């Protein structure tokens, strides 16, 4: 399984470059040949990379990164949210397909800056490049994507967040967690998260857990889901403070216009995450986009 994830990680470098080209030429919807030429690859090779990495063709993947698709996804989310709110519920309350559960750290634990807590960590390959994963005996507390050459900086930032904690490197367990997190088929074993944040931030992150893979919400929709419809700016700040990439899916939040806004781990990676999940969701449900 490690080799499969490593292969996907290498393929992601090509996918990210393709996304950069696609986004910069989005208005005219570049052809497969234009994209492959820009990367110095053959059409056949690019087709194979996308088919293996995303499970769909480059043409289909291109549809998932358009503003039109994003707007359609927001409309669907709006319909769901309106029905939910009419029913008197604060959020859709869907079960996450990875069976994620979570608990917040106590104010006392936060105040002591991790004293008495053992945090294990490891840097491992993922389908979106390398990632730093950290966890305690109570759950995963950190998932951060890494750019080339940034591992030491990322580890130092983790230590700074918990200066009194004990840190142990454990690459083998980190790889096991990566397999569970990024597996093509959801695990039947729940993944537990340990959240470190303010009460409001945790409320926003818990609302994010109800946004299913392949779905998107706007900041205003998320604010309603978190029970704070007038606090969009504060909600946006909470989204940006998320330290557990993918599992707390802050990448599923976009602007009302359908634009893919900034992402702390890179805009191209956010686009890749959205399209990758949309492709998997469509494939598993047997659905297709309205246009081919």
Q: Out of 76, 102, 141, 250, pick the active-site residue.
A: 250
Q: Which residue intervals of 106-170 are DSSP H helices?
A: 107-111, 151-161
Is residue 91 a contact partner of residue 225, using CB atoms and an 8 Å limit? Answer: yes
Mention every residue, 6+ apart, whose C-beta is less than 8 A from residue 24.
none
Mark whether 250 is an active-site residue. Answer: yes
Q: What's the rounded Cα separation, in Å, for the pair 209 and 193?
A: 11
Query: What are the angstrom distances between the C-alpha of 190 and each of 95, 198, 252, 281?
Result: 11, 24, 21, 20
Mention every residue, 6+ apart, whose C-beta is less than 8 A from residue 261.
253, 254, 255
Q: What's the rounded Cα separation, in Å, for the pair 171 and 179?
A: 12
b/e code 237-252 from CB counts within 10 Å (16+ = b)? ebbeebbbbbbbbbbb
- In this structure, the dihedral spanned by the alpha carbons of residues 185, 188, 193 and 199, taken in order and rounded to 10 degrees, is 100
At 116, list the tokens.
């008495």
Is residue 128 a contact partner of residue 273, using CB atoms and an 8 Å limit? Answer: yes
Q: Which residue has the tokens 């340990």?
A: 194
Helix crossing, 267-285 with 2-24: angle to 10°?
110
Q: Among 90, 98, 146, which Cα is nearest to 123's?
A: 146
Which DSSP helix (H) or strand (E) runs through 191?
strand 191-195
Q: Annotated active-site positions, please?
A: 250
């Amino acid at each position: 399984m490690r080799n499969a994830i490593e292969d996907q990680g290498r393929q992601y470098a090509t996918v990210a470059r393709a996304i950069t080209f696609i986004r910069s030429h989005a208005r005219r919807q570049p052809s497969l040949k234009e994209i492959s030429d820009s990367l110095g690859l053959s059409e056949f090779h690019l087709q194979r990379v996308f088919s293996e990495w995303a499970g769909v063709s480059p043409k289909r993947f291109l549809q998932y990164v358009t503003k039109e698709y994003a707007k359609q996804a927001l409309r669907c989310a709006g319909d769901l949210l309106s029905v939910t709110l009419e029913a008197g519920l604060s959020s859709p309350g869907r079960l996450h397909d990875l069976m994620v559960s979570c608990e917040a750290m106590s104010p006392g634990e936060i105040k002591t800056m991790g004293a008495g807590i053992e945090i294990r960590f490891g840097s491992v390959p993922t389908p979106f490049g390398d990632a730093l994963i950290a966890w305690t005996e109570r759950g995963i507390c950190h998932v951060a994507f890494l750019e080339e050459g940034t591992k030491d900086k990322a580890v130092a930032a983790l230590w700074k967040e918990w200066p009194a904690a004990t840190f142990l490197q454990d690459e083998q367990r980190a790889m096991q967690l990566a397999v569970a997190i990024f597996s093509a088929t959801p695990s039947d074993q729940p993944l537990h998260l340990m959240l470190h944040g303010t009460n409001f931030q945790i409320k926003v992150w818990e609302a994010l857990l109800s946004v299913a893979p392949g779905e998107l919400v706007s900041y205003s929709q998320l604010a309603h889901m978190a029970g704070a419809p007038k606090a969009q700016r504060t909600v946006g700040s909470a989204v940006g403070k998320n330290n557990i990439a993918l599992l707390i899916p802050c990448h599923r939040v976009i602007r009302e216009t359908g634009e893919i806004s900034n992402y702390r781990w890179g805009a191209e990676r956010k686009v890749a995450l959205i399209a990758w999940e949309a492709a998997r969701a469509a494939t598993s449900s047997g659905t297709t986009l309205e246009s081919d």
